[in-house]
Amino acid sequence: MSKDAAVEEFAGLVRALKARDGRSYEALGRRLSVSASTLHRYCSGATVPEEFAVVDRLALLCGAEEEERRVLEAAWTEADRARRRAASLAPTPVPAVSAAPESNPDPTAPDPTAPEAPRARPRRGAPAPLLVAAAVALVVLALAAALLSHPTRTASAPTPASTAPGRTAAPLPFTWSTGSQLWEGGCGHTYLVDRAPRAVAPPPVAADSGAWAGTHGAVHGGEAMVRITVQGRSPSDAVVLHALHVRVVDRAAPLPWNAYRMDNGCGGAVTPRHFAVDLDRPRPLARPVDGLDASGAEVRKIPAVSFPYKVTSSDPEELLVSARTVSCDCRWYLELEWSAGGRTGTVRITDGGKPFRASGTRGRPAYVHDSAEGRWITDSDLGQTG
């Protein structure tokens, strides 16, 4: 017998979360305090977790938004009911009709088992369970459709996030987009890569950093910079941005990978006012800090400006967040509080649906690229060739 439709739909949503994160069953299982085989059974529909808490932790770890978590909880509720219903039903006994032909020696005589045929029809005579199962399947399908129609945020196609709890869903009065492959001054950055130097391509230009990082499975080393661009939908009705919160969803030991620097030193550049985040703190805060303009003959300070901000369609705002870490491999996301026209809400800012990520680099082998030799070398080698 095939699995219950509600269980199948719930398992599909869990598989989608796991695929979004990209980590193995074992790696995710460690974060959730379950075995890899248990997590695999959740994803395959072989079993349904008895508590939603473990699935909710998975959703948070994979960057799911509030609306997605509500959809997932509703799907788990239906799947859990199906699991309990299946456990409470005793197996239906099969009528022992296979031995009847042996008691009928005359093959031309009427089959004595024929009158027993109606015993095989209880399912047609009791359609209510099937109708209930079909209704449950339709509900879960609708919930799954809502999840798929509300995908994770991407930098290329910003879409509305969920509104504050207790309010009906409505289009956001603003749009937002993110950039997460930024380098300080457009030239200085470090990536951690789990590859030997000979297997790492030369540094890209900053504009191609996303493709380079994706190809190498690179993680931001020591610092991750995120640019958030917010623009109102109306030229006259302003949206007020009240606060930016940092939510760390996972902490682990720094990655034991090689560190690859994308430059040998930057020249003068403009560092605009931005928000600094210390991911090593128990409760990281986004603190406004001064920026510097070192592109001219003298260094000029760019004063920090804290919340609130106002945005319209003709007056957007750009928020730059610089998150640093020394002692952890941290996964985190941001929450932006807003209000407009009597409405309030919070938007979750993620890296294309996943948490942002940065890992400390202390004690890791560090390499720079020697363009003359066309190879990666250590800092000490650079001093000898210079």
Contact 223, 323 (CB under 8 A): yes
| Per-residue pLDDT at 69 exceeds 90 | no
Q: Mind listing the pLDDT tens digit for each residue in 368-380?
A: 998 888 899 986 6
Q: In what order do the strands lie in the sheet with 270-271?
A: 270-271, 291-293, 300-302
* Exposed/middle/buried for residue 147 (C-beta within 10 Å: 0-12, 13-18, 19+): buried
Q: What is the pLDDT of residue 86?
A: 80
Q: Mind listing the pLDDT tens digit for each residue in 93-111?
A: 444 444 444 444 444 444 4
Beta strand extents in the chain (DSSP E only): 174-179, 190-193, 219-221, 223-232, 239-252, 258-261, 270-271, 274-278, 287-289, 291-293, 300-302, 309-311, 317-324, 329-340, 343-349, 356-359, 366-370, 375-378
| Per-residue pLDDT at 339 exceeds 90 | yes
Q: pLDDT > 90: what percent of the chain?
A: 42
Using the Cα atoms of residue 106, residue 108, residue 110 and residue 114 in order, give the sign of their dihedral: positive
Contact 314, 237 (CB under 8 A): no
Cα distance between residue 156 and residue 174, in whole Å: 16
| Per-residue pLDDT at 362 exceeds 90 | yes
Q: Could you tell me how many residues make up the chain?
A: 386
Cα distance between residue 347 and residue 122, in whole Å: 52
Q: Per-residue DSSP letters for 130-191?
A: HHHHHHHHHHHHHHHHHHHHS----SSS-------TTS-----SEEEEEE----BTTTB-EE
Of the candidate ranges 25-29, 284-288, 304-308, the one whose mean pLDDT is the lowest: 25-29
8 compared with 271, residue with greater pLDDT: 8
Which residues are within 8 A (CB) of 195 and not within 5 positions of it... i.e. 6 or more apart? 216, 258
Query: The pTM is what?
Result: 0.60
How many whole angstroms from its chain centre is CA 367?
A: 30
Residue among 66, 65, 67, 72 nearest 15 (CA): 72
- For residue 287 the two structure tokens come to 């603190």
333: Cα within 13 Å, side-chain hemisphere: 23
Q: Taking residues 13-32, report their average pLDDT.
A: 84
Q: What is the pLDDT of residue 276?
A: 94
Q: Taking residues 278-295, report their average pLDDT.
A: 86
Q: What is the pLDDT of residue 144?
A: 53
| Per-residue pLDDT at 357 exceeds 50 | yes
Name, of 80-84, 249-253, 316-320, the range with top average pLDDT.
249-253
Cα distance between residue 253 and residue 247, in whole Å: 18
Residue among 322, 196, 210 nearest 260 (CA): 196
Q: What is the pLDDT of residue 160?
A: 40
Q: What is the pLDDT of residue 344?
A: 94
DSSP 33: T
Q: What is the pLDDT of residue 156?
A: 36
3-state SS class at 322: strand
How confident is the prediction for the chain on average, in pLDDT?
Answer: 79
Which residues are within 8 A (CB) of 229 and not within 5 positions of it... i.e. 6 or more apart? 176, 177, 178, 179, 316, 317, 318, 319
Q: Which residues pair with 291 in a beta bridge?
A: 302
Q: What is the largest CA-CA distance in the chain?
A: 113
Cα distance between residue 275 and residue 269, in whole Å: 18
Q: What is the pLDDT of residue 114?
A: 45
| Per-residue pLDDT at 255 exceeds 90 | yes
| Per-residue pLDDT at 151 exceeds 90 | no
